Structures are given as C-alpha cells and as structure tokens.
Amino acid sequence: MKNRRDTVNPWLSISAADYEGHMGSPGVRQLEFLSRVFGGLMREFEPESVVVLGCATGNGFEHIEGGRVRRLVGLDINPEYLDVCRTRYGENIPGLELVRANFVSFDLEAASIDFVHAALFFEYVDPAAAVEKISRWLKPLGILAVVLQLPNDSCGTVSETVFTSLKALEPTIRLVDPALFARLVREHGFSELRSARETLASGKEFFLGVYRFESAQG
C-alpha cells in the first residue's frame, strides 16, 4: 500500500526533466556545482561504501565509475529519478543499489558505511532524526558530507526558472542553520573536518560541511 506521506510529498509531482532542467538552467547551475563537490570528496576520501541521500537522477555519479567504491546506495523518494539514474549508471557502476523509499522509513545495517553524502537533502527531512540515523550507519571514522542551502534575500528559496513545477517545494523546504547543524553533529559523536561557503554566479550561497564519526555518544 502507498504510504500517505509519499502521496503528498511534493517531490513526486516534479518530473525528472523539470528537475534537471531547473537545477541545470543557466540562472541556477546547481547540478554542475554539486557534481564537482561530490567528485572532489570521492577523490579525497576514496570510500568503499557510499550512501547518497536524495540522489535524484545520479548527479555526480560519473565520478564513481572506475573508482574504489564497491557499494553505492542511492536513496530517493521519486521513482522516475531513480529510473533515469539506473539507465545512466546501472551497467557501469558495479554495486549500485538504488532504493526508492522515504528516508523516514529507510534503514541500513549499523556501522556498515564509510561515507554518507547529503547535498541539499537535510532541507526536506528532520535534521536531528537524520543525523541520529546516519550516525548509526557509519563505521567508526566514517564521513558525513553535507551541502546546505543558505538564506539569500535576493534569490527566492526556490529559484525562478521556466520550470514552475519546482514551486511545489516552497511550502516544505526548511533551510538548516549551519551553526545548529554543527552542534547537532557534535552531539552525535562527529568532529568537524572542515567547512566552507560557496556563492554561485546566481548569487545563491551554500555551506559545505565534512564531519568524521568518532564514536556513538553516551
């Protein structure tokens, strides 16, 4: 039976073509940025097991091909995005597991994952519950990397493009304050390896945080 939360999730009303059209449009250019960030992290940490939360159509997965990754779990709520991702990467990434689920009801074996990547994902889930869940999945010294959208008065939370279906996200998107996020991860046994901010040509600003899971807290 279909979960009621899924039937109302606005991401289900946005086609893959609209999603990529919006994220890749000249005034937004977020696909390019997010792919670069993911590629840099894969080269730096060389993980063997990776979870990508909100993987959508697999932006950045080209950086996995031929690398050290043995298991890549891509989670997304939108089945069409995963179909596109499977068509693009299913044959070239051994160990690719695409899971169509709501994060809220998704789980993995404890202490089984080297690297969790969550780019523009925490905006759609409960951050405290998500960090707690991720801390259970990560092996000791595993890595959590996040990209958070920062507030910007001159651009709307969802940028204006011709792809108006994206406007469905406006009532649900909740920006996450990086300072609060840093406290949250500390409380769950992570230490910060680094953080940075990047402003795109559109004027939109993003926060990148990389954290290492040291140990479960008390």
Ligand X SMILES: C[S@@+](CC[C@H](N)C(=O)[O-])C[C@H]1O[C@@H](n2cnc3c(N)ncnc32)[C@H](O)[C@@H]1O
Binding site for ligand X (CB under 6 A): 11, 31, 34, 54, 56, 59-60, 75-78, 81, 102-104, 119-121, 124-125
CB of 33 to ligand X, least distance (A): 9
Q: Which is nearer to ligand X, 31 or 189 (CB)?
A: 31
Q: Which is nearer to ligand X, 124 or 137 (CB)?
A: 124
CB atoms within 10 A of CB 119: 26
Q: Which is nearer to ligand X, 73 or 185 (CB)?
A: 73
Q: In 3-state terms, what secondary structure has residue 107? A: coil
* Closest residue to ligand X in the complex (CB): 54
CB of 76 to ligand X, least distance (A): 5
Angle at Cα 210 formed by Cα 121 and Cα 197, nearest 5°?
Answer: 75
Instruction: Dig out the tokens for 186 from the structure.
Output: 């500390």
CB of 204 to ligand X, least distance (A): 12
Sign of CA dihedral 55, 65, 205, 198: positive
CB of 140 to ligand X, least distance (A): 25
Residue 136 · residue 116 · CB < 8 Å: no
Q: Which is nearer to ligand X, 59 or 135 (CB)?
A: 59
Q: Which is nearer to ligand X, 140 or 156 (CB)?
A: 156
CB of 11 to ligand X, least distance (A): 4
- Tell how many helices (H) and how many strands (E) occur in the chain: 6, 7
Of 213, 169, 187, the closest CA to residue 127 belongs to 187
